[in-house]
């Protein structure tokens, strides 16, 4: 049997994996990128709001408000949905998520993520320029709409807190909302415009552009089954299409499927998935949406993608591979049609994807402690697009022995025992 040898195997060709491959390649490593699909960005990296969220310092934590928790428990909220039969599997993780979501835990996670968040747009800009796809980055920021004074006051408090970390947001009244988005309709209490985040109108295309850059610079991208990963005398091996792929180092960057590799190796990492859905719709008539817009009170976001207006939902707690239940799309689409003139649905059915989440809402980036040459880069929760390139830089620092640009200890797998 023939062997294809390299320095590093990167398992997973989503935004996180492709970015890691590019940064390792830039450090002189011979890298093979492995994915079950023949093209990059076909899974979680395809379906998201398209935001490079350099203004989101504090992660999505478990709510502490009793009324909001009760609302979610009734399973009627448009922004959160759960499968009753999945709860036994989720409950231990949810308890850890709740405990990590205390004010102290939330601040701890925010401060750990801050160096990554601050560099996220910068890292994307460098790769976008090198890949030659400037049209895939728009500098519009995004708008967070509020229908009630209560939700607006809560977000204004969060804005005041975020300004301590260099984040800026512009408060909009009804006239300012109409000026920025004249085709929106509704009785809004106000809004916040976050001007700094980048917007990617085709996230899947961006992952593919990065993969093409990787190949153009001499990298190899092969379709293979990452679950065949084994350790041997020569390092790490994956069964490839024409023989074994062999490398000294292997990086697990499989997003919500990372457990299919790390669990057989004996790692008990508390990762769960939050599923999400989207659909594309054409705008009616000459209506134009200029920014991604979040309807905060109703838990959905509209984004002006290249394929049409993308409606994205909140979180669904279900088994990763359970059949799709797009009830959040069904609940929010009639509301969205009243807010913006939407036309025909472009796809025959909603798309579904999964977000890999750890209970402290921080990724795992770094060395696998019990296996030489094995590295982890997954668990980026709602921010895989945002953090892919900067996580790749941090990982490449560690793999190549360069002093990391920030302390990586908060992302070490050892934090889970």
Tens-digit pLDDT profile for residues 305-348? 999 999 999 999 999 999 999 999 999 999 999 999 999 999 99
Structure confidence by residue, pLDDT tens digits, 37-69:
999 999 999 998 999 999 888 888 888 888 888
**Residue 243, CA atoms < 13 Å, CB-side half-sphere:** 6
Closest CA to 250 of 232, 267, 237, 239: 237
Structure confidence by residue, pLDDT tens digits, 192-220:
999 999 999 999 999 999 999 999 999 99
The average confidence (pLDDT) of the chain is 95
Run of H or E residues at 374: strand 374-378
Hey, what domains does the chain have and what are their CATH numbers? Answer: 3-46+204-270+360-416 (3.50.50.60)
Predicted local distance difference test score (pLDDT) of residue 83: 96
The string over 286-307, giving b where at least 16 C-beta atoms fall within 10 Å of a residue's C-beta and e elsewhere, is eeebebbbbbbbbbbbbbbbee
The string over 59-95, giving b where at least 16 C-beta atoms fall within 10 Å of a residue's C-beta and e elsewhere, is bbbbeeeeeeeeebeeeebbbbbbbeebeeebeebbe
The reported pTM is 0.96
């Amino acid at each position: 049997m023939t062997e294809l040898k390299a320095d590093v195997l990167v398992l997973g060709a989503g935004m996180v994996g492709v970015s890691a491959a590019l940064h390792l390649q830039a450090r002189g490593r011979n890298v093979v990128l492995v994915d079950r699909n023949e093209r990059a960005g076909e899974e979680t990296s395809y379906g998201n709001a398209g935001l490079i969220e350099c203004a989101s310092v504090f992660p999505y934590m478990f709510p502490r408000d009793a009324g909001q928790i009760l609302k979610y428990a009734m399973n009627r909220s448009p922004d959160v949905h759960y499968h009753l039969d999945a709860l036994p599997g989720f409950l231990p993780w949810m308890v850890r998520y709740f405990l990590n979501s205390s004010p102290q835990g939330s601040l701890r996670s925010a401060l750990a993520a801050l160096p990554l968040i601050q560099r996220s747009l910068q890292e994307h800009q460098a790769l976008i320029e090198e890949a030659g796809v400037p049209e895939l980055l728009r500098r519009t920021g995004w708008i967070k709409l509020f229908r009630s004074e209560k939700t607006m006051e809560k977000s204004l408090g969060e804005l005041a807190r975020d300004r301590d970390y260099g984040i800026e947001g512009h408060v909009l009244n009804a006239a300012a909302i109409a000026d920025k988005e004249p085709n929106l309709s509704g009785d809004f209490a106000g809004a916040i415009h976050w001007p700094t985040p980048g917007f990617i109108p085709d996230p899947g295309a961006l992952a593919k552009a990065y993969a093409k850059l990787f190949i153009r610079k001499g990298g190899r991208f092969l379709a293979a089954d990452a679950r065949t990963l084994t350790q041997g005398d020569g390092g790490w091996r994956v069964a490839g299409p024409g023989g074994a792929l062999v490398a000294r180092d292997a990086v697990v960057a499989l997003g919500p499927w990372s457990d299919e590799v790390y669990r057989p190796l004996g790692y008990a990492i508390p990762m769960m998935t939050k599923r999400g859905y989207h659909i594309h719709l054409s705008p009616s008539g000459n209506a134009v949406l200029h920014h991604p817009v979040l309807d905060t009170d109703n838990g959905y976001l509209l984004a002006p993608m290249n394929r049409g207006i993308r409606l994205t939902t909140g979180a669904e707690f279900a088994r990763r591979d359970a059949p799709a239940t797009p009830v959040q799309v069904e609940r929010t689409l009639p509301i969205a049609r009243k807010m913006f003139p939407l036309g025909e649905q472009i796809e025959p059915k909603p798309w579904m994807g999964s977000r890999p989440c750890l209970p402290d809402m921080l990724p795992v980036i770094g060395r696998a402690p019990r296996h030489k040459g094995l590295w982890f880069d997954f668990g980026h929760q709602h921010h895989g697009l945002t953090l892919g390139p900067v996580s790749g830089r941090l990982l490449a620092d560690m793999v190549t022995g360069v002093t990391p640009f920030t302390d990586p200890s908060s992302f070490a797998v050892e934090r889970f025992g």
